[in-house]
Amino acid sequence: MTTTESKSELFTIASVESAQSQKEQASSMGFFERYVQPCLAELLGSTLFIFVGCVSVISNIGVTGSIQPALAHGLALAITIAVFGEISGGHYNPAVSVCVYLLGGMEVVLLGPYVLAQMFGGMIGAGLAKAISPSAYFYNASGAAFNAVKSSGDIGPATVAEIVMTLFLTMVVSMSAVNGRTKSQLAPFCIGLTVTANILAGGMISGACMNPARAFGPAAVAGHWDSHWVYWVGPLAGALLTASIVRYFVIYSHLFRFANVSADVQ
C-alpha cells in the first residue's frame, strides 16, 4: 500500500510498512517486554490515576460542584497516558481496552491481563486513598465509590449517561491514539479533557464513571456495591457502540471506494 492509498483510508491502525516494522520489533522483544511490561504499566498507571481520582472525591465532600474531581481525574489521566502510553497504550480502563481490541489495536492475549491489571490497580489506588484519608471523610464519601444512582434513584438515565459518555471517551481514544490517519501527539491531553468535560456534564447524573476499574476499586475497598452493575454495563456498551460505529464507516468507506473503482473500470 502506498502512502497515498493509506491516507485515503478512514480508519487504519498502521500502513503495511509500519505494520511490518512493528512485527519485526515485536519479534526482537523478549517475553517480559512484550507481555509483562505493558501489564505492569497498566497496573501502575491505573493505581496512580484511580488514587488521585478517589482522593479528589473524598476531599470534595461538602463542596458544591464537580470541578475538583473533574480536573483531578482529567489531569491524572492525561499525565499517566503521557508517561506510560508508549509502553502499554495507557488504557487504565477495561472499556477502552475492549474498544481498542475490537478495532485491532491490541493482541487478544493481552486483553484479559490488561483488565485484571486495571482492576487490581483500582483496588490498590482506592486502598491507598483510604489509608491517607480521615475516616469521617472516607465513609461520608462512600470511599469514593459511585453513589449518584442511589441518590437520584434513576437507574435508566444513569445507564444511558454512562453509555454516551463512554462512547465520547472511546471515540476520542480511537481517533486520537489508535487511528493511524488521525493519531495526534496531543492524544493524552485530548483524552484527559474528555474525561474532565464528561465529569462536569454528567457527574450529578451517574457520577461519570466511564471506567469499570474506577468503579470496582473503591467499591471493593469500601464495600459499596449499590447499582454497581451500571458502571460495567454502561461503559462496555459505550465501547461496543464506538467499535461498531467505526467499523461501519470503515466498511462503508471500502464499499464506496470499490464502487468508484468499478465505475472507473467500466
Mean pLDDT of 37-44: 97
State whether residue 85 is helix, strand or coil: helix
In a domain, 244, yes or no: yes
Give domain status of residue 116, yes or no: yes
- pLDDT at res. 66: 86
Report the alpha-carbon distance of residue 157 to residue 153 in Å, rounded: 10
| CA 193 and chain centroid, separation | 13
The pTM score is: 0.86
The domain total for the chain is 1
CATH code of the domain containing 134 = 1.20.1080.10
Closest of 170, 206, 38 to residue 98, by C-alpha: 170
> Residue 145 — pLDDT band, cuts 50, 70, 90?
very high
**What's the distance, CA 201 to chain centroid?**
18
Domain that holds residue 166: 14-265
**pLDDT above 70 for 61:** yes
With a CB cutoff of 8 Å and minimum separation 6, the contacts of 180 are 6, 9, 12, 13, 14, 15, 18
Residue 242 pLDDT exceeds 80: yes
Among 67, 82, 85, 59, CA closest to 197: 67
Q: Is residue 223 part of a domain?
A: yes
What was the pLDDT predicted at 221? 97
Residue 8 lies in a domain: no
Mean pLDDT of 203-228: 95
What is the Cα 118 distance to its own chain's centre? 10
Q: What is the pLDDT of residue 17?
A: 40
231-254: average pLDDT = 87
The DSSP line for 143-196 is: GG---HHHHH--HHHHHHHHHHHHHHHHHHHIIIII-TTT--TTHHHHHHHHHH
Per-residue cell: 35: 507481555
C-beta separation of 33 from 110 below 8 A: no
Lowest mean pLDDT among 50-54, 60-64, 195-199: 60-64
For residue 181, the model assigns a pLDDT of: 84
Decide if pLDDT at 4 tops 80. Answer: no
Contact 84, 41 (CB under 8 A): yes
Q: How much is the mean pLDDT over the chain?
A: 87
Asked if residue 6 belongs to a domain, the reply is no
For residues 37 and 259, give the distance between their C-alpha atoms in angstroms, rounded to a whole number: 45
Is residue 3 in a domain? no
- The residue assigned the cell 473503482 is 261
Tell whether the model's pLDDT for residue 25 goes beyond 70.
Answer: no
Which is nearest to 199 in space by CA: 16, 65, 58, 54? 65
* Stretch 53-61: mean pLDDT: 93
Q: Identify whether 120 is part of a domain.
A: yes
Burial class (CB in 10 A: 0-12, 13-18, 19+), 200: middle
Give me the DSSP letters along 224-236: --TTTTHHHHHHH
Look at residue 23 and tell me whether its pLDDT is greater than 80.
no
Distances in whole angstroms, Cα of residue 182 to Cα of each of 8, 19, 37, 85, 90: 12, 16, 27, 17, 18
Cα four-point dihedral sign 135, 65, 163, 170: negative
**Overall average pLDDT of the 29-49 stretch:** 93
Model confidence at 5, pLDDT cuts 50, 70, 90, reads very low
1: in domain? no
pLDDT tier at 266 (50, 70, 90 boundaries)? low
